[in-house]
Amino acid sequence: MPTLKNLAVLDSFILKWFRECTPKILVVTDGLNFSAVDDFGLTRFVDALRTSTVHAMTPIVRTALYTPGSGSAASLDATTQHISNFQFTDASHGLLKSRYDVVFLLAITTEGGPGLAQEPGAQAAIVNFMQQGGGLFATGDHEDLGAAMCMTIPRVQGMRRWAAADTPSGGGIDRLTTTGPGANDVFEFADQSDALPQRLYVNFRTSFGVGVAHPVLQVPGAAPARAIEVFPDHPHEGECRVPALLTGKLPDGVTDEWPLATGSTQRVVPEAIALTVSEGNAFPGKAAVAPRSFIPVCAYDGQQAEVGRVVTDSTWHHFVNVNLVGLAGRNLSDVHQYYRNLATWLMPKHVRHCWRYPVLIRELVRYPLFEEIRLEPVEKFDGPALHALGEKVEDALQRRFTRGEVAAMVDDALDEMLDARTRQLLDGFHGRYGEVSSRDTGLAALGALTLASGNTALQLQEKGDDVKDAIGLFDEAAAKALRLGIQRYLGDAREGLRRLDEVIGAVLR
């Protein structure tokens, strides 16, 4: 029987079959830079993105310097992938959902400075991007740094403090400082560049589950309790928040800023996914401060409402060179994982939909699945067998990816095949009647999807380069397999419940 080729050969096919799935990321600043030697350079952050994988694909990362109202034409350096004189409305390089999947805004210009107000149509371009499912990240720093670009963007404006009248200062008693004393036990500004990061207090009760971190703070191959618990530190950070009012409108005055979740009467609410603590300390030249907790990261799952996801961060000092230079080992690895998680979680649904095929194909030729799974038609498997297969695949994937990424693959498979009402009914079982639950049904679907992906790759690899619309072929095979897998599993579960009903009836007779 033909088998999948080794990983090196398969990867050459995968790059051709799924080229259009490559994640596209735009990193925009209006006053920081992309120098490798400048303290306020974003090079280490950008390099971490470019050398990582997002949904198992190496992303295309473009950088851009925003110059609102400059009158100069935007230009792309094809070698560095940097856009000079960037404008959100530029016809060739501006912000379009067809051009980018995720945009990072790391802004420095203060309130009243040149920003979105100086570029007609800029805010509308950003809103359209978000409404079409594009992912958006935004941050500034202490006081109103970053306000000119970000403070009027819907959703972003409510998930972080931007206005000068509403933000912590850089040196007063309301300062938010996460930098502790260095090795000499003295508080010094340079300690933000040492090997000692700040501590995050992760929220283990979010909409993504109890007992696990939010996907943005998860670590691959780890137990559920393992999370990213460190950030670079800084003596005066900004502050994120959860908006108190969710009744605002977009600039058109009609569309809800915070729409209802699909099939629900409840609005999707942004979440504080961690807290950190401003230490009670006294830096030279700054007012002494009392300790207090604050929100360093806020996340909004707009995909529950068919719009884009949003994340805000308290400061771009979590991203610039000067705050990363001293970190090493697990601390640096976790910060880089945070960057990757941001890009991954913010990706639109269509990118996540596409990644499942290359991921599953690669797993089938890796340990342990290459020893445990023999590719056969999905039709040969009953519900329990597909469920058992799905458990093996889930375990293998969690060794390489975060639990959030793997759970999203399962959830997406169910959402693809079940309408919102059916999904809600299935969610309500929670395994109380036999093994009838969304999770168990999803595992059977994952088993079926794995077989379909492997069998389709098996067929296409024999054709070599003579393959057109590979994604369409995978989608077609996946739809058939998912439908059959869910039907098989729920059909077997129904038969089990029928037998249980007979037993209960006999006992109560």
Classify residue 10: in a domain, yes or no: no
pTM: 0.95
Classify residue 19: in a domain, yes or no: no
Three-class HEC string of 282-333: CCCCCCCCCCEEEEEEEEECHHHHCCCCEEEECCHHHCCHHHHCCCCHHHHH
Per-residue confidence (pLDDT) for residue 430, from 0 to 100: 66
Q: Are residues 336 and 355 in the same domain?
A: no
Classify residue 11: in a domain, yes or no: no
Domain extent at residue 286: 24-346
Confidence tier at 494 by pLDDT (50, 70, 90): confident
Amino acid at 273: I
Amino acid at 375: L
* Short-list 8, 53, 21, CA closest to 365: 8
Q: Are residues 366 and 224 in the same domain?
A: no
Q: How many domains is the chain partitioned into structurally? A: 2
C-alpha–C-alpha distance, residues 100 and 80, integer Å: 17
Q: How many CA atoms lie within 13 A of 291 on its CB side?
A: 9
Q: Are residues 419 and 367 in the same domain?
A: yes
Number of H helices, E strands in the chain: 13, 13
Per-residue confidence (pLDDT) for residue 431, from 0 to 100: 60
- Give the end of a domain, one of 346, 373, 405: 346
Confidence tier at 434 by pLDDT (50, 70, 90): low
Per-residue confidence (pLDDT) for residue 8, from 0 to 100: 75
Q: Are residues 91 and 207 in the same domain?
A: yes
CA 260 vs CA 131, 159, 268: distances in Å: 13, 17, 6
The answer, yes or no, to whether residue 101 has pLDDT greater than 80, is: yes
Per-residue confidence (pLDDT) for residue 222, from 0 to 100: 66
Q: Are residues 114 and 213 in the same domain?
A: yes
Q: Are residues 479 and 499 in the same domain?
A: yes
Classify residue 4: in a domain, yes or no: no
Q: Are residues 337 and 364 in the same domain?
A: no
Q: Are residues 91 and 235 in the same domain?
A: yes
Place of tokens 């912590």: 168
Q: Are residues 425 and 493 in the same domain?
A: yes
> From the centroid of its chain, how far is CA 334?
15
Q: Are residues 249 and 370 in the same domain?
A: no
The string of pLDDT tens digits covering residues 12-25 is: 888 889 988 999 99
C-alpha–C-alpha distance, residues 377 and 371, integer Å: 18
Q: Are residues 90 and 227 in the same domain?
A: yes
CB 101 within 8 A of CB 134: yes
Q: Are residues 299 and 363 in the same domain?
A: no
